[in-house]
Structure 1
């Protein structure tokens, strides 16, 4: 049976979130080296790990895109690494495969470790029959995103971090529970830390009235939605708004639906958001590499910006007269 392994994690909150990500996909979760983590976590030793197939989730050189990776079969271990240093070299060298989650974002280009694990498991454990990539000019087809009624400030912050990492310049938040706007300072600090706001260029826009009527198509993405899995639904297009609701949010009439197809996705808001945005980014396709070519320079051109507006009793001097001096 597939299992999820955290290698050298240091943050107890991330360890708990990693367990939640494993539960979302009904796989076991273990930790290699649990120093600094709560007692009672399931740990595995290095020899045990090296004796079975390893799939490393790391942006190491030569790593394959997780979107193109073959599904995991049998008793493989999917390994994610330390929050700052990633997977340690001995496991990277021993990995059967190394996959990465493409991050087109600027400023923030990494996910929370547990969100990265959830996204990787979504593609490595199935997500078959995916829609084709749009290809050229992906930015012209990038949909809007509305986080609808998030119930927790850290979940909202981590979701906003994911949006920035997957290339969104702005996200709207319908904040009826006041977890993001107008919150007390300690709550605000925790949420902004989860969002990596100190280097996150994302623009967060309040949406008190719900979806912007300027959008012509609304796709509600959630666990248990009455629609196709998100990887088979069209999540892109100009005029499209992706709505990712938490709880207690009523979709507008005429909305389409797409399902986050994972057994335990309900209540895992940051993971659901990460999967939806990853899939939308996959469908958009990669940004073109390199800078856009500049148009050829035509040389300098000039225009007259002078207007002769002298009083009636003044002497008007023509330019040719000035040239005599």
Structure 2
């Protein structure tokens, strides 16, 4: 049976999320860890791990794209590594195959380790379908994204981190449960840490509207529709909506399913898979079109409106102050 293995994972919350990722795809799990990261979980010894075909998910030199199809041995160990250092060298050397998740983003260039595991499991499990966008300007076909009603601040933060890593510069957020805007300081700090906000040039736009879009695709784990990898997710005027629970879809909306039918996953997994598939369909940026560098300094999520009752001030008047 295929097994997901965490190598040197440090954060207990990430370890718990890896267990959830394995459950979402119906695979076994284990940790190559001697420090007792989680009590009662399955531990995998180095000798036993090296006896299986290893598929390493790592940005190592020479790694192939996870989007490329390839047969997966029924007893393969899919290994993800430490949050900062990645997979340890002995496993990388022993890997039968090393895959990476292409990251076209300009700031954050890695995913949360559990999100990366979910994306890898999705594609290594055989997801394939829509071809990539053809043409000289794939960025013109990048869809809008709306995160609708995330119920947990860390899940929302991880989802925003994924959006930046996959190349989005702006994302809408319907924050009906108040997990992102106007939250207490400790909650805000945890959410921003999950989003890697210190390296993240993403603009988060409050609101939940779908106005201005000609095509809306609602992506959920229980959608009555084709899987996302067989749905065209790109195109100017397209909005991808990933709800965390109930969502009032507008008339004419399309639906696409994330993961296997009936498989339940964390919100960060759903958004990660949808964004990965949209980025795969867009294809890589053409050579020499890296775009503008990320903005430095302060950024703002709202702007001042002009009070109709106020007076207009001419520039020459300001000079008198």
Q: TM-score, normalised by structure 1?
A: 0.87
Q: 2-side partners of 1:176 and 1:186: how far apart?
A: 19
Q: CA deviation at 1:41?
A: 1.6
Q: CA deviation at 1:34?
A: 4.0
The residue number in structure 1 matching 2:2 is 2
Q: 2:12 is matched with which residue?
A: 12
Which moves more between the two structures, 36-45 or 241-250? 36-45
Selected match of 2:270 from 269, 272, 277: 272
C-alpha deviation, 1:108, in angstroms: 0.2
- Structure 1: any 5+ residue segments left out of the alignment? 293-325
The Cα of 1:267 is off from its aligned counterpart by 4.7
Residue matched to 1:213: 211
Q: 1:264 to 1:88 in 2, by over 3 A?
A: farther
Among 232, 251, 258, which residue is 2:230 paired with? 232
Contact 2:21 2:265 in 1 (8 A): no
- Rounded to whole Å, the distance in 2 between the matches of 1:273 and 1:112 is 12
Q: CA deviation at 1:36?
A: 5.3
Contact 1:25 1:263 in 2 (8 A): no
* Partners of 2:146 and 2:239 within 8 A in 1: yes
Is the alpha carbon distance of 1:79 and 1:263 closer, same or farther for their aligned partners in structure 2, counting shifts above 3 Å? Answer: farther
Match of 1:241 among 214, 239, 242: 239
Contact 2:3 2:77 (8 Å CA) reproduced = yes
Map 1:73-84; keep pairs closer than 5 Å.
73-84=73-84
**1:185: which partner in 2?**
185
RMSD, matched Cα: 1.4
Structure 1 segment 77-116 matched on structure 2, within 5 A: 77-116=77-116
Give how far 1:266 is off. Answer: 2.8
Contact 1:24–1:263, Cα closer than 8 Å, also in 2: no
Local SS of the residue matching 1:109: coil
Question: For residues 62-91 of structure 1, what are the alpha-carbon distances to aligned partners after superposition, in whole Å with 9 as ceiling and x for unaligned?
Answer: 100000141413100000000000001100
Distance 1:265 1:105, change over 3 A: farther
**Per-residue deviation, 1:249:** 1.7
What SS does the corresponding residue of 1:107 show, helix, strand or coil? coil
Describe the superposition over 1:223-243 as per-residue Cα deviations: whole angstroms up to 9, x where unpaired. Answer: 110111000001000000000
Shift of 1:107: 1.1
Deviations 1:265-289 (A, max 9, x none): 4351100000000000000000012
Distance in 1 of aligned mates of 2:71 and 2:177: 39
Q: Secondary structure at the match of 2:60?
A: coil
Alpha-carbon distance in 1 for matches of 2:287, 2:79: 29
Secondary structure of 1:242's partner?
A: strand
Which residue in 1 is equivalent to 2:259? 261
